[in-house]
Amino acid sequence: MRLNLDPMFLLILSWISRFEPLTLIDVFKADNQASGHSLNCKAKGPLILLLGCLVGFLNLHSLLAAQGDADVPQPSPSSRHTEKVKAVREGSYDLVLIGDSITHCLGELDGKYAPFKAVWDQVFAPLKAINLGFNGYRTEQILWNLENGQLDFHESPKAFMLLIGTNNTDDRHFATTHTAEAIFRGTQAIVDLILKRHPTSRVLVMRIFPRGGDGQEGISPPIFHASPQCLRTCQEAGDMTRKLADGKRIFWMDMNDLFLTEQGQVDAELLWDLLHPSQKGAMLWAQSVEPTLKALITGQPTEAIQVLRRSPIE
C-alpha cells in the first residue's frame, strides 16, 4: 500500500507549517504553561482538530490508493480457485505455471482450445506440472490467488513459470488499466511472494507476449486488436521485468521475436487472435521454453536473461 503526496495533502502540510514546531506532549497538554514550544490556547484547539482530520485523511487516502493497484491483491474467489487449491494441497509438483488465459488455454479450456491438451501432455505433463492459469486475470488477482491457498504446496516445487500483465494494459476490455511501472511492481510482488513461501524454488519470468494492433488481421475470432497505448505499455512493462532476473532464483526469457513476422508484426499463424497462441503457437512456446524449465527443475546452471530469436531465412 503506497501513499501518494497529492495536492490536498501538501496543502494541509503547508497550513500546519505556519505554526511553530510542537511535540505531541505540547499539543495535548491540558494547562497553558509556557514551554519552549509554546502555542497559545486559541491555536491549540484548531491544530488538534486539524491533526485528527489529517490522520483520518491519510488513512482514507491510503485505502483509496490501494484499490485497484497492480501489486495489491484483489479478491477473486471462483470454483477454479477452489479446485486448484485442493490440487495444490494434495498433489506433488515440480513445475507450476502461473498466468492468465494464455496459460489457462494450455490444456484446460474447452472449445477451440480443447486440442491444446496435446501440447500439455507432450511437454508439461512429463515435467510434473500444474496449470494455475486463470482466464482474464491480472497481476492483482493472481496475487490474491497465491495468498489464498495456491502456494500451499506441502513440498516446494522446483520451478515456477510466470506470464502475466497483458490484461493490465488492455484498455478495450477492462475498465481500468495500469502503467508499465505498476505492472512491473505487480509482477515483482508475485515473484517476491512465491520466493517468500518457497525460497528454494526458481522462477522463470516470461516477457509479456506481443499483441496485434488495429492494422493487423487475426484468423480466429474474436480478434483482440490492441490500442496504441496498450501496445506501448506491453512493450515497456516487458522491458522492465528483465530487471527482476538475478541468475540465482529469478530468470527472465523474451521469446517475442518468435511470434513476429519479418516485418515485426504479430504472426497470425502463431497468435491467431492477435493475443492468444494458436495450437502451433502454443507448441512453439512450450518447446522453446522446455530446455530452460528442465534446467531449472534439475538445478542446472541457467542464464539469467535469455532472448530467443527467429532463425534467419536463407
Q: Per-residue pLDDT tens for 207-233?
A: 999 999 999 999 999 999 999 999 999
Chunked mean pLDDT (size 10), the chain, 314 residues = 41 40 36 41 48 44 58 97 98 98 97 98 98 98 98 98 98 97 98 98 98 97 98 98 98 98 96 98 98 98 96 56
* Alpha-carbon span 240 to 205, nearest angstrom: 11
The pLDDT value given to residue 12: 43
Cβ–Cβ < 8 Å for 170, 137:
no
The pLDDT value given to residue 68: 77
* Alpha-carbon span 244 to 262, nearest angstrom: 29
The pLDDT value given to residue 26: 39
Beta 159-163 vs 95-99: how paired, if at all? parallel
The pLDDT value given to residue 182: 98
Q: How many CB atoms lie within 10 A of CB 306?
A: 18
The pLDDT value given to residue 33: 42
The pLDDT value given to residue 311: 74
Residue ranges of domains in the chain, CATH in brackets: 7-66 (no CATH), 79-307 (3.40.50.1110)
Closest CA to 231 of 246, 210, 252: 210
The pLDDT value given to residue 67: 53
* Alpha-carbon span 103 to 140, nearest angstrom: 16
